[in-house]
Structure 1
Amino acid sequence: MLDLLLARYGLSDESLLCIDTKPSTLKSGQADGIQPRTLEVFKTLGISDEIENEACQMWQFAFWNPSPDKEKIIERTAVMPEVIPPARFGYEATIHQGRIERIMETDLLRYSKRGVLRNTRLVDVVIDENGDAEFPVVVTMNTNGTERTVRTKYLVGADGAHSVVRQSLGLKLEGESLDHIWGVVDLVADTNFPDIRRRCGIHSPAGSVMVIPRERIATGEYLTRLYVHVPEIVSPGDDQLPAKTTESKSEDARQRRTKITLGGILKQAADAMQPYYIRPKDGAIDWWAAYQIGQRVLPEFIVKDSKNAARVFIVGDACHTHSPKAGQGMNVSMMDSYNLAWKLIYQINGLAPTSTPDNPTPLLNTYQTERHEIAQQLIEFDRKFSTMFSGQMGATEGLTQEEFQQAFKLNNGFTSGCGVEYPENILVVRDSNPSLNPVQGTDYLSGILRPGRRLLNIKLLRHADGGQRDLHDGKIQVVIWLIRFRAFQLTNDTDTPSTGRFRILCLTSQDLLDREGVSAKALERMAILIANFPASTIEQIVLHPRLHRFFEWGDIPDCVKQTSEMRFYDGSALVDAYSIYGVDPAHGALAVIRPDGYVGVVAQLGDVKQVEEYLRACIRTIL
């Protein structure tokens, strides 16, 4: 993900190297779920079509629990939407991780001749400023038995739970490791279980199973993934390890995991799903594994040099580990990279804000501020979710069916990725004075604008050609960053693609046709403001509310056609954008959207100065 983004932002093979120990993309196993927010990001990259068309779409979550009727044993107690918050994609997609890798690698080859350098093992990483202070990170690697050393300005360790980057730099994960042991198996299922094509949480007297429907395979049949709790493997009274544990898991847990067999997992699943039967069809097993649930997080996601400049970044499983059942691992990991990539490109191209001797990389430091917060939330959520799911419903001190369902509902904003909220920093500025906030309402999951949250996709009607647009769509043809304050050029048919640009969302008010009104003056000042920054680093999207009469280009400020001709929309024709975003059409509002699609600041329509102050803290100006 990171390699693809940086290549699309213009880093050439001479400047960018991605190595992988594997000889090819994954062939089986590992992650399988793509959350709605991740799909939104893929849409902005123009790489979501195959997933949309061929993945299994999970629209509902069914809850199965012990039945008061002893003959039934278990019964369906509730069915909920898989995705509760409003989202462009109202489902979670399941498709093999290897296909996701292949989609990305195929797109990467449009920008890189080399692509991923495979069969290459990382041997060691050190920071050595004496040899070359500008390129202080020294990386030793081995490709097909040939060892070599390179120097780089920045290194990103996306190398998994057993990260060599992390270990080389002496970093340690901290947290608790629960001894709930689970088996996972991908199979073509022969079953009479009625909800095999829904995501299910099954709690029965015999144990717990999670059912994940998977995509159709080459034979025309459909895969199913089962997560199976193996309760007899867990020693009573020994379900936690001390906090701040070391890298290695307990030897006892490792020994117990080795006793788990495929046959044991399948028998446990069959017992838990009685009176229904489930078995591999014609013995078709695609992949299976056993694992111990562990929730751990790295205290520092960034390693700095002696001048306090960020040099090494840890992303994904290398800095946070957790159970796979909530479908967060691959998604949160890719969002780490999505958060980091544009910040790196701004720093590399000299577009980052002015630094100080004490803080030479302020933009890069926000990666730690924002993603560590999300990792902590993920660990806390996963600990509760895993404990709930590993328990037995109806036990004396267990969780009730209603409590589990309510927990699923409350946490859906987080698990879908749609409710992620970054804390305040230079990139997330919230007004402490409520009277100055042009946005009303607090239902942020439903789209109310809030700094630190994603901009909700909406459908808009374009003034120039009557085109109906989804704000998030992306079809990028070519992206070229030119070093040192030059523009990056692209051709696209979209409005908020992942091109590394900031966007000013201008929701004009009902006075748009008044040449002396607040809207007209704000638009004119905005055109001047944008010219103060490096070309093409900022775009403007203009919306207008329902107006009292029809109008032509000549009725509004000339700068709208000059700067936003194909990004000027009717905000009321298809949906009520103003109501969704919490903006009064009589007053309007300004919002700056970061390159990763999150709201950075919201200001009153006439307060262009606040927008300017925010942008100057994020981007180096040319004036």
Structure 2
Amino acid sequence: MPVFTEHAAASRDLRVLPSFAPPLPRFAPTLSPPTSEKYEVVIVGAGPAGLMLELLLARYGLSDDSLLCVDTKSTALKSGQADGLQPRTLETLKSLGLADEILSEGCQMWQVAFWNPSEDEEKIIERTSIVPDVAVPARYPHEVTIHQGRIERILETDLLRYSKRGVQRNTKLIDVKIDEAGDAEYPVVAEIETEGQKRTVRTKFLVGADGAHSIVRRNMGLKLEGESSDHIWGVVDLVVDTDFPDIRRRCAIHSPAGSVMVIPRERISTGDYLTRLYVQVPGDVIPSEDQQPDNGTGKPPVVDARARRSQVTEKTIFDNAAAAFKPYYIRPKKDGAVDWWAAYQIGQRVTDKFSVKDSNGVNRVFIVGDACHTHSPKAGQGMNVSMMDSYNLSWKLAYFINGLAPENLANKILDTYHIERHTIAQQLIEFDKAFSSMFSGKIGASEDGVSSLTHDEFLEVFNRGNGFTSGCGVEYPDSMTVNRSFNGREDPIHGTDYLAGILHPGRRLLNVRLVRHADGYRRDLQDDFASTGRFRILCLTSSDLLDPAGISAQALKTLSAIIARFPKSILEQVVIHPRLSRDFMWVDVPSPVKEHSEMSFYSGYEIDQVYSIYGVDPEKGALAIVRPDGYVGVIASLTDVGRAEHYLEGLIRTV
């Protein structure tokens, strides 16, 4: 055997990290071994929202000593519940390296079929149109349906790469309160019970991801606002036997007998394909006591909503569905073909606050997902909006805990969680009201002389809401994390079609395809924006990039100095160039390009016309600071790099 001497770098452990980046740097003191059970973050609930939050915080560097997630269930969900993932959610899961199984195994919905009453009485219903399911630019221009339990399993499996404990299951929250007198640093007190054993834990922050009947929301005195009555819905997952031609498309069926939504589902282990049917049952009920909107009296009206729901049976759902499908038949394919069914009540409501502060005004308790907003399933938003709540909150919490945010501004950054996500929840409620009302309406006939809904009107609402329902049209309002005001300075972006990709603070960065200079790799730009908790500087250089005295060279030199002012690795730089006058080598471009962006330096024209898509003049270029969650925070011209620097100084500590 050959004899050799092995030499290994001290950083060799970095090669086997379970992600593409080390944890975030930490400036705050690490958690010392406590005399009692203390954590920096406690998460209540391990559905998609809770698991997403725990996974992100664990990836950002919070250890099992710092982070605890509890859930009443013994395992991930086995059946029922949510099933749809929208394009923006898929982009987010891709940024975590978790999208491949979902994309390959889930059912991809590319089209929506609309069925309405036919003028031919024998036909009863007829297909009136087929439209794209996603009508806005997106990396994944389709929805994916796959069981919520599978999403939970994917998230939890990945979590165990970063956490030995994972989720502490069979554990319920009994009580939670803020008690600063007992410990001002860990002021949130939670009483929990694990398999009959009660204990008390303290934490700096607690997040309620515990669903529509949230104990956290109730104990924190947070109020629901919205409808005072609920719709009763029947839903069933099954393997169907039918001659309906569009059973493998998403369908909205308006028939004389009622309305049904068809959601094709994934293939299961038997080789069969599941289908989900949503059927609205006539009649409303007053919501359950713990979901009552505030009516000013402090006492909710009493109604036995449970008894009303119990009147809905599996037969009720099938009878309503079968009537709506006529003249086509639909039935379970065989005995045991029904995987799950349920009757549940849904109303459009949102809490007035998404966080609760201590006496010093520091945000201490947060709620995410169904704990702070409820709505119908028609728009396919539940699991998506819930996970995006956690995606928004995670980096802000991590920056506070790790001491990465400026000390005097860290809590103000946490304030933006409510500002941003409450805005989106309100928009969701308003859209869901309009869409649900139209979905449940009659099409094509007039009653009592009043004109009913037309198919064109319904289609217009569907298309108008597509940007919102896909997640691609979400726009956060102005705050310290979103700066749209130029105050007389030059706006380097031209155009206002933000859904088409025009750069705009508060909007997510649209994916584009580029060619990397270093190796010719044809790459998706979003892959340079992985969910590692880092801010990115996106520099679209001008056509004078090869001129050492040009604006691009000067801007890149200034950016290099700015990067050095912040903690190491917290800022990453991505550089794109327009069509240039000649071929070039590394020696021809400004040295900061190779220093900071050797493997993130791209041609902006060889595949997609990036400058045109983003609304940037190639003669002038532009800068965009992209937040850790993929949303543009601020835009600046290459001659105003100080604007970007000022934005970063408000969010990241300097060194």
Instruction: Give a deviation string over 1:341-378, Cα, whole Å, max 9, x none.
Output: 0000000011112416xxx6111111011000001001
CA distance in 1, matches of 2:495, 2:513: 21
CA distance in 2, matches of 1:179, 1:570: 53
Give the counterpart letter for 2:541 in structure 1: T
SS of 2:599 mapped into structure 1: helix
CA distance in 1, matches of 2:608, 2:197: 59
Select 1:428's aligned residue among 465, 470, 482: 482
Select 1:532's aligned residue among 552, 565, 579: 565
Task: State how 1:226-305 maps to structure 2 within 5 Å.
Answer: 226-231=277-282, 233-234=283-284, 244-245=294-295, 251=303, 253-283=305-335, 284-305=337-358
Partner of 1:361: 411
Select 2:594's aligned residue among 555, 561, 566: 561
Partner of 2:234: 183
Give the counterpart letter for 2:637 in structure 1: Q
SS of 2:650 mapped into structure 1: helix
Shift, 1:260, TM fit: 0.7
The answer (yes or no) to whether the contact 1:431–1:437 under 8 Å persists in 2 is no
The answer (yes or no) to whether the contact 1:173–1:247 under 8 Å persists in 2 is no
Give the counterpart letter for 1:276 in structure 2: Y
Q: CA RMSD in A?
A: 1.6
Shift, 1:433, TM fit: 5.2
The answer (yes or no) to whether the contact 1:440–1:583 under 8 Å persists in 2 is yes
Task: State how 1:413-492 maps to structure 2 within 5 Å.
Answer: 413-432=467-486, 436-473=490-527
SS of 2:67 mapped into structure 1: coil
TM-score between the two structures when normalised by the length of structure 1: 0.93
Task: Structure 1: state its 5+ residue gaps.
Answer: 236-240, 474-494
Select 1:541's aligned residue among 562, 574, 591: 574
Task: State how 1:345-424 maps to structure 2 within 5 Å.
Answer: 345-355=398-408, 361-394=411-444, 395=446, 396-424=450-478
Q: Kindly, what percent of the aligned residue pairs are identical? A: 67
SS of 1:161 mapped into structure 2: coil
Give the counterpart letter for 1:157 in structure 2: G
Partner of 1:488: none
Stretch of structure 1 that moved more, 207-216 or 170-179:
170-179
The answer (yes or no) to whether the contact 1:67–1:75 under 8 Å persists in 2 is yes
CA distance in 1, matches of 2:162, 2:246: 43
Partner of 1:171: 222
Partner of 1:323: 376
Shift, 1:453, TM fit: 0.2
SS of 1:102 mapped into structure 2: helix
SS of 1:341 mapped into structure 2: helix
Shift, 1:408, TM fit: 0.2
The answer (yes or no) to whether the contact 2:292–2:300 under 8 Å persists in 1 is no
CA distance in 2, matches of 1:141, 1:105: 21
1:344 lines up with 2:397 in the alignment: yes
CA distance in 2, matches of 1:596, 1:249: 42
CA distance in 2, matches of 1:530, 1:424: 25
Stretch of structure 1 that moved more, 286-295 or 42-51:
286-295
Partner of 2:122: 71
The answer (yes or no) to whether the contact 1:508–1:589 under 8 Å persists in 2 is yes
CA distance in 2, matches of 1:54, 1:242: 39
CA distance in 1, matches of 2:292, 2:87: 35
Select 2:540's aligned residue among 496, 507, 513: 507
CA distance in 1, matches of 2:107, 2:144: 5
Give the counterpart letter for 2:139 in structure 1: R
The answer (yes or no) to whether the contact 2:224–2:292 under 8 Å persists in 1 is no
The answer (yes or no) to whether the contact 2:204–2:364 under 8 Å persists in 1 is yes
Select 2:363's aligned residue among 306, 310, 317: 310
Partner of 1:213: 264
Shift, 1:290, TM fit: 1.2
Shift, 1:435, TM fit: 6.7
Partner of 1:621: 654
Give the counterpart letter for 2:555 in structure 1: A
Partner of 1:480: none
CA distance in 1, matches of 2:451, 2:538: 51
Alignment length (residue pairs): 592
Partner of 2:19: none
Instruction: Give a deviation string over 1:585-615, Cα, whole Å, max 9, x none.
Output: 0110000000000000011112110000100
Give the counterpart letter for 2:241 in structure 1: D
CA distance in 1, matches of 2:92, 2:250: 23
Shift, 1:250, TM fit: 6.0
Instruction: Give a deviation string over 1:442-472, Cα, whole Å, max 9, x none.
Output: 1100100000000001111111111111112
Stretch of structure 1 that moved more, 385-394 or 18-27:
385-394
Partner of 2:42: none
CA distance in 2, matches of 1:90, 1:128: 48
Stretch of structure 1 that moved more, 404-413 or 250-259:
250-259
CA distance in 2, matches of 1:557, 1:409: 45
Give the counterpart letter for 2:351 in structure 1: L
Change in CA separation of 1:598 and 1:320 when aligned onto 2, cut-off 3 Å: same
Give the counterpart letter for 2:536 in structure 1: R
Give the counterpart letter for 1:328 in structure 2: Q
Instruction: Give a deviation string over 1:363-415, Cα, whole Å, max 9, x none.
Output: 11110110000010011111111111122113434321110001000000000
The answer (yes or no) to whether the contact 2:263–2:276 under 8 Å persists in 1 is yes
The answer (yes or no) to whether the contact 1:172–1:247 under 8 Å persists in 2 is no
SS of 1:257 mapped into structure 2: helix
Structure 1 residue ranges, 4+ long, deviating more than 4 angstroms after superposition? 245-250, 432-435
Partner of 1:481: none
1:195 lines up with 2:246 in the alignment: yes
The answer (yes or no) to whether the contact 1:191–1:277 under 8 Å persists in 2 is yes
Partner of 1:97: 148
CA distance in 2, matches of 1:583, 1:115: 45
SS of 2:613 mapped into structure 1: helix
Partner of 1:486: none
Give the counterpart letter for 2:97 in structure 1: G
Give the counterpart letter for 1:101 in structure 2: E
Give the counterpart letter for 2:426 in structure 1: Q
Change in CA separation of 1:418 and 1:159 when aligned onto 2, cut-off 3 Å: same
SS of 1:591 mapped into structure 2: strand
Instruction: Give a deviation string over 1:491-529, Cα, whole Å, max 9, x none.
Output: xxxx11000000010000000010000000000000001
The answer (yes or no) to whether the contact 2:229–2:284 under 8 Å persists in 1 is no
Change in CA separation of 1:247 and 1:370 when aligned onto 2, cut-off 3 Å: farther
